[in-house]
Amino acid sequence: MNDRKLGRPVPDWTPPPRPDRERLEGRLVRLEPLVADAHALALHDAFEGHDDLWDYMPYGPFTSGTAYHRWARQREAGDDPQFLVLVDQASGLPGGIASYLRITPEAGSIEVGHICIAPRMQRGAAATEAMFLMMDWAFHAGYRRYEWKCNALNLASRRAAQRLGFSFEGVFRNHLIVKGRNRDTAWFSVIDSEWPALQEAFRVWLDPTNFDAMGRQRERLSDLTRLVRAASDPALER
């Protein structure tokens, strides 16, 4: 039988478990399941005044803490997506939110999305560590494919995906209608065979010795992940 025509065999495949709202602990950040009463008002305070955070989201901006609490209450017990709150280890304050979604254990595929990081946590090591912790959980659980999708116009999200080691897979045209507007969707992924090298890249970058006394990085994560990526995003090279 010609495997080149039929695909590589995947012997003894066992679907991985679904995420179970477990807490993920890092040095700089912890991720804990969204609980509206515990997190919503603090998250709203962190997001308030930055309506651009919601430009590419299918919801928001939120006019009040009450409105955001209502949104969080509707989603805190959801099975897919499953929302996690990024809590700064030093201050104990929530600084962002993300989720696992399109969870497909039978195919070994899972996506990260609904990422919203407050300005105080943006461009910091804690947000990067959070993305590492979520990816690390997925591959240790046995997932084969970890996805990132975003509006193709959202160049900041496309840059973030590439920096984190995701490989560009293309753009799905006329993929969705969001807030009454067309959305072309850029697709990225990391697969299990790439994870050991990416895991080491994250560990090198997150090591405290990679930062000087002012917190400035010595090595860039994008430099460490570049050799692992199977394909780069051409939109970022223009």
CA separation (Å) from 194 to 59, 148, 167, 227, 230?
A: 33, 15, 10, 10, 9
- What pLDDT does residue 142 have? 98
Segment among 5-14, 79-88, 141-150, 213-222 with least mean pLDDT: 5-14
Q: What is the average pLDDT across 32-58?
A: 97
Q: What is the average pLDDT across 152-181?
A: 98
Instruction: Please determine, for residue 68, whether its predicted confidence score (pLDDT) is greater than 80.
Output: yes
Q: What is the average pLDDT across 212-218?
A: 91
- Structure confidence at residue 123 as a pLDDT band (50, 70, 90): confident
Q: What is the average pLDDT across 35-48?
A: 97
CA separation (Å) from 149 to 30, 39, 48, 75?
A: 23, 25, 25, 20
Q: What is the average pLDDT across 48-67?
A: 96
- What pLDDT does residue 1 have? 53
SS3 string, the chain, reads: CCHHHHCCCCCCCCCCCCCCCCCEECCCEEEEECCHHHHHHHHHHHHCCCHHHHCCCCCCCCCCHHHHHHHHHHHCCCCCCEEEEEEECCCCCEEEEEEEEEEECCCCEEEEEEEEECCCCCCCHHHHHHHHHHHHHHHHHCCCEEEEEEECCCHHHHHHHHHCCCEEEEEEEEEEEECCEEEEEEEEEEEHHHHHHHHHHHHHHHCHHHECCCCCECCCHHHHHCCCCCCCCHHHCC
Q: What is the average pLDDT across 135-160?
A: 98
- What pLDDT does residue 237 have? 84
- Structure confidence at residue 207 as a pLDDT band (50, 70, 90): very high
Domains identified in the chain and CATH numbers: 18-236 (3.40.630.30)
- What pLDDT does residue 238 have? 67
Instruction: Please determine, for residue 199, whether its predicted confidence score (pLDDT) is greater than 80.
Output: yes
Instruction: Please determine, for residue 73, whether its predicted confidence score (pLDDT) is greater than 90.
Output: yes
pTM: predicted TM-score of the whole model, two decimal places: 0.95
